[in-house]
Amino acid sequence: TTVIHWYQQKANKSPQRILYFSNGKVVDDGFQAHRYMVEKVSHQKLCILTINDIIPDDTATYYCAYWRSHRAWNTWIKYFGTGTKLIVSSKGNSQPAHSEILQKNHENQTTYVCLIEKFYPEVIRVTWTDEAHKEVTDNVVQGDPWKATKEGDYSISSWLTVSAANKDKNYHCKYEHESQERSLQTQGTYYILFCLMFVTDHLMHRTAYLVYIVLLLKSSMYYLIVLFFIYR
């Protein structure tokens, strides 16, 4: 029978084992046994940890692990799962207030930046897919969430770089948050930016024109004042 171990890792601390489970549950010192329930579903190869009466101190990342023997090396290695982050807070979740894809064209490649802003909590999954809805993992850089506001909301960005040969293909930035799921498409991003640049450029020219008129009127007034003192 495979023995399953459960670990708790709090921010900036090393993992601590909560318990292990074989034919029964054995809880380590420092943890309250009645708060942790373990269910092993053998036919689905699942081991489920349930925490009762959660409190803010339970905020942490939880990992399952098991030992596996390697005969070639004559040793045992402990394998850990990817982990599940638990956040206990009185603040309710909030969906991203804004999300968009920005585009930057280079000589031989194009970079897309998927920006997702002001969501809570910070646990979010961002992925890129191609036209065939297959996940793209090459040339993808994933940033860490950062606090965007004093209220504690978070933002995150993800970069996808594609070669010039693929610049006309459609890519999607998909995010999964407990508040909602959404997919953003890259096609058309350039034209949106172009329109914004055109409007901004138009306003700049209009502002310059108005400033020119004001300066012209001002110089005319100075000219009239000088003439007044000369011919009075």
For the stretch 169-228, pLDDT in tens is: 999 999 999 888 888 888 654 433 333 333 333 333 444 444 444 444 555 555 555 555
For the stretch 118-167, pLDDT in tens is: 999 998 999 999 988 999 999 999 999 998 777 789 999 999 999 988 88
Residue among 83, 86, 102 nearest 7 (CA): 83
Cβ neighbours, 10 Å, residue 202: 10
For the stretch 94-121, pLDDT in tens is: 999 999 999 988 888 999 999 999 999 9
Per domain, the residue ranges of the chain are 4-86, 98-187
Average pLDDT on 76-94 reads 90
CATH number, span 4-86: 2.60.40.10
Q: Please, are residues 91 and 149 in contact by the beta-carbon 8 Å criterion? A: no
The alpha carbon torsion through 26, 27, 32, 36 (nearest 10 deg) reads -70
CA contacts within 13 A on the Cβ side of 38? 20
Q: Which class is domain 98-187?
A: mainly beta
For the stretch 50-72, pLDDT in tens is: 999 999 999 999 999 999 988 87
